[in-house]
Amino acid sequence: MVQIPAQPYDFVFDPDKAALLIIDMQRDFVEPGGFGAMLGNDVGQLRGAIAPLVGLLAAARQAGLFVMHTREGHKPDLSDLHESKRVRGKGTMTIGDSGPMGRILIVGEPGHDIIPELYPIAGEPVIDKPGKGAFYDTELADIVAQRGLTQLIVCGVTTEVCVHTTVREANDRGIDCLVLADCTASYFPEFHETALRMIVAQGGIFGWVTDSASVISALTAPAEPAAG
Ligand code: TIU
């Protein structure tokens, strides 16, 4: 057990029951020509999270922390795409249409894949999710149960959409979430700040917030001597 300084109070980190969950660090969200850009966003707003995440991921792997990745997207036949999501926004292009990185938000297309800087390695589950939350219609709850996980260190994009939805889903399943301010990002900086404040308000109604340096310190801290 290691105490990690956090808001609204210290997070008691138990690496044996924790995992790093990296949400949707896909080309479709952080590179031009993908889903995020199609929605009218400035994808450059998200890129600041990449460098801190690279450092965190290296430290997590070094420490042997269990790592999971998610990708938002849909099957090529769109059988897992609700019509409500397909038509939302009334844009000229939508999910499944062809763009510069292949069909938008479709599994197997270049844009759907995780960015090279954060590419998963063997042993790190990649959870494909059709919704904003990582628990909806995925195997994540089974993995959490099988491994006895009770803590998630949550990173990725975007703070107020897929990160927030996942944190809320996890919270209702009895999982403590520690969200990293520098390893999450939004197309709207003010939404990022407010989303983080919403997590820690009311005594940590959805969880805790800290930064990658605090987690890296905890991951590299010498083990506590055994009691007695
Ligand atoms: N649009 C937006 O901010 N986010 C998403 O659609 N998905 C995720 O957050 N991954």
Do 42 and 158 contact (CB within 8 A), yes or no?
Answer: no
Q: Residue 29 has which token pair?
A: 């969200």
4 φ, ψ (degrees, to nearest 5): -110, 120
Q: Is the full-model pTM beyond 0.85?
A: yes
pLDDT attached to residue 222: 74
Q: Residue 97 has which token pair?
A: 């249409």
Ligand 1 atom at shortest distance from the alpha carbon of 24: 10
SS3 state at 67: strand
Q: Residue 140 has which token pair?
A: 């994540």
Residues whose beta carbon lies within 6 Å of some atom of ligand 1? 24, 29, 39, 72, 132, 157-158, 161-162, 187
SS3 state at 188: coil
Spatial strand order of the sheet with 126-129 comes to 126-129, 66-72, 18-23, 151-157, 176-185, 208-210
Read off the DSSP letter of residue 9: S
As a whole number of angstroms, the distance between CA 164 and CA 152 comes to: 13
As a whole number of angstroms, the distance between CA 150 and CA 130 comes to: 24
Ligand 1 atom at shortest distance from the alpha carbon of 72: 10
By DSSP bridging, strand 208-210 and strand 176-185 are parallel
| Nearest CA owner, ligand 1 atom 10 | 162
Distance of CA 214 from the midpoint of ligand 1 (Å): 26
pLDDT attached to residue 124: 98
SS3 state at 144: helix
As a whole number of angstroms, the distance between CA 7 and CA 175 comes to: 17
Q: Residue 62 has which token pair?
A: 């070094």
Distance of CA 162 from the midpoint of ligand 1 (Å): 6
pLDDT in tens, the chain (228 residues): 899 999 999 999 999 999 999 999 999 999 999 999 999 999 999 999 999 999 999 999 999 999 999 999 999 999 999 999 999 999 999 999 999 999 999 999 999 999 999 999 999 999 999 999 999 999 999 999 999 999 999 999 999 999 999 999 999 999 999 999 999 999 999 999 999 999 999 999 999 999 999 999 999 987 666 666
| Nearest CA owner, ligand 1 atom 8 | 162
Number of Cβ within 10 Å of residue 5's Cβ equals: 14
Distance of CA 194 from the midpoint of ligand 1 (Å): 16
pLDDT attached to residue 8: 98
With the most atoms of ligand 1 within 8 angstroms of its CB, the residue from 161, 169, 194 to mutate is: 161
As a whole number of angstroms, the distance between CA 167 and CA 33 comes to: 28
Instruction: Tally the C-alpha atoms within 13 A of residue 180's C-alpha that lie toward its C-beta.
Output: 29
pLDDT attached to residue 223: 66
Do 129 and 72 contact (CB within 8 A), yes or no?
Answer: yes
| Nearest CA owner, ligand 1 atom 7 | 162
Active site positions, annotated: 24, 129, 162
With the most atoms of ligand 1 within 8 angstroms of its CB, the residue from 71, 157, 183, 186 to mutate is: 157
Distance of CA 92 from the midpoint of ligand 1 (Å): 18
- 83 sits in which H/E element: helix 83-87
